[in-house]
Amino acid sequence: MMNVAPVGATAVQDHVALAEIELCGELIIAASAARGERLSADRIDEVLRVSDGLEGGADRDDSRP
């Protein structure tokens, strides 16, 4: 017998997983709109809304894969 959730039942949501899926979607959209082979590390950080905490345009390591 197959177990099926009752109609109207509240689904359990993993908010961290949902946030990761949303960020992946944002990266896919940015990559599809990019002119060039790859997104730069700066563009990825911009899309993911992260900051390395360095102000004033400090050098960064763009050699990461």
Within a domain: 5: no
Confidence band, pLDDT 50/70/90 cuts, at residue 51: confident
Within a domain: 34: yes
Confidence band, pLDDT 50/70/90 cuts, at residue 55: low
Domain hosting residue 39, numbered range: 17-48
Cα–Cα distance for residue pair 15/42, rounded to 1 Å: 26
- Number of structural domains (the chain) is 1
Cα–Cα distance for residue pair 62/50, rounded to 1 Å: 15
Within a domain: 36: yes
The tens digit of pLDDT for each residue in 22-45 reads: 999 999 999 999 888 889 999 999
Q: pTM of the predicted model, to two decimals?
A: 0.56
Within a domain: 28: yes
And the tokens for 50? 């992260």
Matching residue, tokens 């002119």: 35
Matching residue, tokens 């959209």: 29
